[in-house]
């Protein structure tokens, strides 16, 4: 259980760790806390250090006041994720936000194949972000172009996968743990994972557990954090 901190100085600057719930956007979290703080302190500068997709959960870091200057440094840190791939199917967005658009037979894929496939991702490489992502193309978000049915020429980005552990295999699902550099799209790893097995895969579940030295074990549930501010807001 988190201890309630009573000596916040949000204008001077605070780093807030939140365990983002499923189906909340990163901006939902920012807006919820911004609205809460405004009741007592007025307008407080606040931002997050790296988004999480709505279907992902886990560590989201917010910075207020002068600590917003640290956002880029936090964003640049390595990330650790746990999650699940669904093998034998694909979706247009590489996760569960859209319906399955293609299915594949799983016969012939062995546990050894899956473990070897994971190891093939280790190291520095070029990765193409998903078409349904916030990457900007000529000033337009890629997901807006995709939803409008327009062609999007997404360029690859250099990333690094430091660790890729398969933690359990219960086909069609595969559980994993990945430590990677900034800018890595786990959704793209899911899609590429399926392709490397001459099959298909999409990201079924994702949780961010660590950013640099910050861990989700030290994070607040959003409602608990809001309630911790109540005495200060009266």
* CA 155 – CA 148 distance, rounded (Å): 19
* Given the residues 53, 95, 191, 192, the one annotated as active site: 53
Write down the pLDDT at residue 4.
47
**Whether residues 185 and 226 fall in one domain:** no
Q: What is the pLDDT of residues 51-67, one digit of tens each?
A: 898 899 999 999 999 99
- Please report whether residue 143 resides in a domain: no
* CA 202 – CA 89 distance, rounded (Å): 7
Is 53 an annotated catalytic residue?
Answer: yes
**Whether residues 204 and 220 fall in one domain:** no
- Please report whether residue 1 resides in a domain: no
DSSP string, 42-102: -S--EEESS---TTEEEEEEEEEGGGGGGHHHHHTS-EEEEEEEEETEE-TTSSTTS---E
* Averaged confidence pLDDT in the chain: 89
Q: 163: domain range?
A: 79-129+158-211
Res 223 pLDDT > 80: yes
**Whether residues 65 and 116 fall in one domain:** no
**Whether residues 123 and 169 fall in one domain:** yes
CATH number where 64 lies? 3.30.2350.10
Res 156 pLDDT > 90: no
Whether a cis peptide bond, with omega within 30° of 0, leads into 172 is yes
**Whether residues 124 and 228 fall in one domain:** no
Q: What is the pLDDT of residues 159-214, one digit of tens each?
A: 999 999 999 999 999 999 999 999 999 999 999 999 999 999 999 999 999 999 99
Write down the pLDDT at residue 34.
92
**Whether residues 88 and 179 fall in one domain:** yes
The predicted model gives 118-140 an average pLDDT of: 80
Q: pTM (2 decimals)?
A: 0.90
């Amino acid at each position: 259980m988190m201890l309630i901190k009573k000596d916040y100085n949000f204008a001077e600057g605070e780093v807030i760790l939140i365990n983002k719930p499923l189906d909340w956007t990163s901006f939902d979290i920012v807006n919820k806390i911004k609205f809460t703080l405004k009741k007592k302190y007025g307008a407080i500068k606040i931002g997050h250090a790296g988004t999480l997709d709505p279907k992902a959960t886990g560590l989201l870091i917010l910075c207020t006041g002068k600590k917003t200057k640290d956002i880029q440094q936090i964003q640049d840190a390595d990330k650790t994720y746990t999650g699940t791939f669904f093998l034998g199917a694909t979706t247009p967005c590489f996760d569960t936000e859209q319906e399955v658009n293609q299915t594949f037979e799983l016969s012939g894929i062995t546990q050894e194949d899956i473990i070897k496939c994971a190891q093939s991702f280790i190291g520095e490489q070029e990765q193409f972000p998903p078409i349904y992502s916030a990457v900007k193309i000529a000033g337009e978000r890629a997901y807006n172009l995709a939803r409008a049915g327009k062609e999007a020429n997404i360029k690859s980005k250099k990333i690094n996968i430091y660790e890729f552990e398969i933690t359990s295999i219960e086909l069609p699902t595969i559980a994993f743990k990945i430590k990677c550099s900034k800018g890595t799209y786990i959704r793209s790893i899911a899609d590429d994972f399926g392709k490397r097995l001459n099959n298909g895969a999409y990201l079924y579940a994702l949780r961010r557990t660590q950013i640099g030295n910050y861990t989700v074990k030290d994070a607040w549930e959003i409602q608990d954090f809001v309630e911790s501010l109540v005495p200060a807001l009266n």
